[in-house]
Structure 1
Amino acid sequence: MSDNAKKMGFGSIYLLGINGIIGSGIFLLPNQIYKTAGNQGYLVIFVAALATLLITLCYADMASRTTGDGAAWLYSYNAFGRFPGFEVGLFSWIQGIITISAEVAALLNIMMTLVPAIKNPSVYKITGIVIIICLAGICLLGSGVTSISDNLSSAIKIVILVGFIGLAVWQISKGTAHFATDAIKFQPSSAFNTAFYMYSGFSFLPIAAANMQNPEKNLPKALVSVIVTVGIIYSLVQFAVTRLLGPAIANAKSPLATAFSQVFGQTGFIVIIIGMGISILGVAFSVTFSTPYIAYSLASKHKLLPSFWVRTISAKFLG
């Protein structure tokens, strides 16, 4: 895309990064973190954010030196040559495809809570295919529609999580939420691994660098800003849900939904389930947007994949 005005600005880049990281993890994993870190789970999440930030700074530095599409594979290509770059690119592309499939499957499992008919294998498969087609269709409509959709889903998930934190503050102020003494054996390695997993989506953000305004300046700022924002939100959510549920969090399959339902009943449960669905869909959308750029870059810019990738839907997809 040659018209810089049509490319993503800093705000859209930032929200794309938010969308790529905040998924099902923060809704489903607080119980696992509690089982291995107890009441100190929020500190483990914060430490994981700092560790991720160190990696992000490396990405930010490389992004400031490279304006092309591809991110990790392109950095490897420039540093080590064609074959190492091709290996990283090929596996990054496959990882993106697998991630899209996994997120759609997770979304379907969430949808089953509200629409039991999806448990039927045929309905499950058809619904999954429809979701994937819709994700691709939105991207095919162009960068304008893509940015609006991404910004909207990012904003919704942030509002829901901030609202949850506000709920905890409200309950704490009423004296109805407090830390309970736990007998959890602190397992730092397991707790850290679980927390670190929740930040993994950041690596997809720089892939579409050529579709961004001033990527050498905006990408580094966006990468760091995203990790800082998500780290703060994740830590506060873990702290909040632990205060609201206490030791009961260990047995809660969906801790945030359980906490919300305790205060607002079935309505609160449905709100969080919808929030989970939007979060998962947002990750799927973010990866759907980014993944084709890898194949397109490999094929068109560096001739590491057959050239038909440039002439088919990839070229149209990338506008």
Structure 2
Amino acid sequence: MKQQINLKDKLGFWSIVFLAINSIIGSGIFLTPGSVVRQVGSQALIAYLLAAILASIIAISFAAAAKYVTQSGAAYAYAKAAFGDKVGFYIGILRYFSATTAWGVMAVGVIKSTLAIFGMNPNDNGRVILGILILMGIISLINALGQRVVKYVMNLSTIVKVAVLLLIIVAGLLLLLTTGATGNLSQVDQVTQNGKVIVPTLTTATFTMAVVSAFYAFTGFEAVASGSEDMQNPSKNLPRAIPLAILIIAAIYIGVVAVTLLVNPEVIMTTNQVVAVTAIFNNVILRDIILIGALVSMFGINVASSFHAPRILEAMAKQGQISSKLTRRTKNNFPLRSFVTSILLAVLIPLAFNYNMTNLITLSALVRFLGFIMVPLAVIFFYFNKSQVAVLPAPKNFITDVCAPIVSILLVVFLLINYNWKLQFGIVENGQVIGINWYAIGMAVFGFVVLPLVITLITKLENRSVTK
């Protein structure tokens, strides 16, 4: 029997905005704001601004798609409606694997960061495993208590992380006003470490890599519509909530990076602090507040992942493309079976690869870029009534439904062409590629070829057993 969802349990407009912010802001802005600065120095603010513009353009396509298709699944639902069952199935499997992998990576990240913050060895696999089990147990309990509890936890974590980031900006501005340290931006490109200038000579390739690095800080918006059926009026609220969240985050990110550059660029580029942004402040209480904010932020993005990933699997089951058993929910509207499947994968995938995060992140990024091409294409199909499945009769807009998708596709293709793939699929030593990383290539083949084939075979065998 289909479980009806109480309207009060569904996410309203501001809860969707908070979900989007919670899905995007994780650990990066707290832990590694200096990584982009190390790549392009004083041009870091421009890199973040361009990344924000790129994210906004792509987000417009996802927002436009949400007004045509309100089924859960996000990229899966859009691809299936636009291009048919086979393409939809393939994109769905890739997105689900990417979502669970990303969840596992973020879970490992929060545990390792927590261990490091409290002075323990973050590479102690025993403690990492124990920490992940405790974290996943807490997240499971939150989800099992029902969607209303999940909504409250996500909203609260979003408020805390945004408040702490705003505190960093305000505290930094006050520090600048009281010390008059406004000339540090011109010194960024001359900062040295071990006698060598940190920032390399600026080239198109290095700047592109910096923009891509900054762009990763904005990813997560593409998953917001994964649970659209658990939202109030998704065709109206999602197209407004996603761009608004991107604008809020862009303002916060640029503010935080600007403050760190102006206050003490040398410290932010050379610090060994786990939560790097704390290094620019001397006040112990302020540092502790930022540490708490970082931990809450990392926990919050894990809760958001626990909302997104199971609903992609559930959406595929509802469409009859995988076992219908995965559609069942508890009386609290908790998608138990799809959740258990997802959390097991999120725990086991990083463990299977001995917590080698680099290759897992690369695979997840590749799937995201594929989605950033497929969804804009789907929106264009919807606009010209070329979709394989009838979509909602939404109001059409040539700018958001055709122009923005074309621009976003061109920008993504440009980034892919100029991306340094040698670093991702090569063995790097002292900044130089010395060989081929067959391990990374094997993972890509597994994710893009082997896994979809295996799931297809399992689904066909199950369908045959049902029809007999």
Shorter-normalised TM range: over 0.9
Task: Find the aligned partners of 1:123 and 1:40 in 2 and give their Cα distance.
Answer: 39
How many Å apart are 1:274 and its aligned residue? 2.0
The residue number in structure 1 matching 2:215 is: 196
Give yes or no for contact 2:147–2:334 (8 Å, CA) kept in 1: no
> Which residue among 66, 71, 74 is the counterpart of 1:71?
74
How many Å apart are 1:276 and its aligned residue? 1.5
Between 114-123 and 290-299, report the one with greater CA deviation.
Answer: 114-123
- Give matches, 1:254-265, under 5 Å: 254-260=275-281, 263-265=282-284
Task: Find the aligned partners of 1:287 and 1:304 in 2 and give their Cα distance.
Answer: 22
State the secondary structure of the residue aligned to 2:26: coil
How many Å apart are 1:145 and its aligned residue? 0.6
The residue number in structure 1 matching 2:434 is: none
2:280 counterpart letter in structure 1: A
- Give matches, 1:53-202, under 5 Å: 53-116=56-119, 119=122, 120-180=124-184, 181=187, 182-183=189-190, 184=199, 185-186=201-202, 187-202=206-221
What percentage of residue pairs aligned between the two structures are identical? 25
State the secondary structure of the residue aligned to 2:182: coil
The residue number in structure 1 matching 2:254 is: 235
CA gap of 1:70–1:139, structure 2 versus 1, over 3 A, is: same
Give yes or no for contact 1:292–1:314 (8 Å, CA) kept in 2: no
Between 119-128 and 231-240, report the one with greater CA deviation.
Answer: 119-128
The residue number in structure 2 matching 1:308 is: 325
Higher relative contact order (CA 8 A, sep 6+): 1
State the secondary structure of the residue aligned to 2:73: coil
How many Å apart are 1:249 and its aligned residue? 2.2
Gap runs ≥5 in structure 2: 191-198, 337-468
TM-score in terms of structure 2 length: 0.64
1:298 counterpart letter in structure 2: M
The residue number in structure 1 matching 2:225 is: 206
2:210 counterpart letter in structure 1: A
How many Å apart are 1:118 and its aligned residue? 6.7
The residue number in structure 1 matching 2:445 is: none
> Which residue among 39, 46, 49 is the counterpart of 2:49?
46
Task: Find the aligned partners of 1:237 and 1:110 in 2 and give their Cα distance.
Answer: 20
Gap runs ≥5 in structure 1: none
How many Å apart are 1:114 and its aligned residue? 4.0
How many Å apart are 1:208 and its aligned residue? 0.7
Could you give the per-residue CA deviations for residues 50-73 of structure 1, whole angstroms, max 9, x where no partner exists? 101110000011101111101101
Larger radius of gyration: 2
How many Å apart are 1:91 and its aligned residue? 1.2
The residue number in structure 2 matching 1:15 is: 18
Task: Find the aligned partners of 2:6 and 2:332 in 1 and give their Cα distance.
Answer: 16
Task: Find the aligned partners of 2:144 and 2:283 in 1 and give their Cα distance.
Answer: 40
Give yes or no for contact 1:69–1:294 (8 Å, CA) kept in 2: yes
Task: Find the aligned partners of 1:314 and 1:195 in 2 and give their Cα distance.
Answer: 42
Task: Find the aligned partners of 2:121 and 2:230 in 1 and give their Cα distance.
Answer: 37
Task: Find the aligned partners of 1:231 and 1:218 in 2 and give their Cα distance.
Answer: 20
CA gap of 1:122–1:313, structure 2 versus 1, over 3 A, is: farther
1:284 counterpart letter in structure 2: N
> Which residue among 304, 308, 312 is the counterpart of 1:294?
312
Task: Find the aligned partners of 2:93 and 2:37 in 1 and give their Cα distance.
Answer: 36
Could you give the per-residue CA deviations for residues 279-314 of structure 1, whole angstroms, max 9, x where no partner exists? 1111111011111111111012x1111122124779
Give yes or no for contact 1:10–1:222 (8 Å, CA) kept in 2: yes
1:289 counterpart letter in structure 2: F
Number of equivalenced pairs: 315
1:138 counterpart letter in structure 2: I
